[in-house]
Amino acid sequence: MKVSEKSLELNLAAELLPLLRKRPGMRKAYLRGLTQEEENQEGVDFFVQLNPANRLFAFQFKAPRGKTESTPYRYTLLRYQHEPLVDLATSPGNVFYVFPFYVTTTKLQKDVPKLANDTWMLDLNTMPTASVFGSSYKSRTIKCKSGKAEINPEYELQRLSEVSGIESQGVAAPTFAQWYDRHLVFRDRLREERGRPNTSRADDLHERLRRNPWLVRGLRVVIVPP
């Protein structure tokens, strides 16, 4: 049976926090993920209300494609999702893709509670959009095996279980809030990405107030209080 994306996120998040809390100054780190309902009600306000001394790390979870466990594991990267993440990843160690090497519940059940040993992270600071997508690609397949990710060029992967080795102090809360507020989305852009025709200007005005749904799907934010 194929593992659901939500199951992967929940189980990996349970392992991620203890690893981060071992780092100096991060004992009180906690995980925050917005639901669609919270996004509509709170949106950027939640991040604005944080203590300015808080630091944040962002983890974009990806589920592997296919139905069987086979190397390399394949994942889909989306340009309209990647660009804002790179915008946030202004220095190393702040924003990561998370690639779990788990397709089936059989393997997941076998490895619990140490899924982090076969889950890998890729620092977005090393992945400028032009290098990954060129001038025209809207999506790319990234092929991953232990320690390596291939998409032309090749990238280094780090085990999630070694996350305590990250040297960054994270993104400042005000910087994160400003970034989050910038990434509103127009319906015409979403329709362009999905190959649909544009709608009326009135509809576009209404949709201008909607936030891009990728900001709540698969993105998990770790908040580190001072």
Written as six digits, the tokens of 23 are: 């780092």
Of 7-11, 176-180, 210-214, minimum mean pLDDT range = 210-214
Q: Is 93 left (phi over 0), alpha (psi -120 to 50) or beta?
A: left
- CA-nearest of 115, 103, 107, 220 to 159 is 115
Give how far Cα 219 sits from Cα of 59, 111, 207, Å.
Answer: 6, 23, 22
Domain assignment of residue 22, given as a range: 5-224
Identify the residue with better confidence: 28 or 164.
Answer: 28
51-78: per-residue pLDDT in tens?
899 999 999 999 999 999 999 999 999 9
Give the H or E element holding residue 158.
strand 158-159
Asked if residue 202 lies in contact with residue 4, where contact means CB atoms within 8 angstroms, the answer is no
125-148: per-residue pLDDT in tens?
999 999 999 989 999 999 999 999
The domain tally of the chain equals: 1
10-40: per-residue pLDDT in tens?
999 999 999 999 888 899 999 876 655 555 5
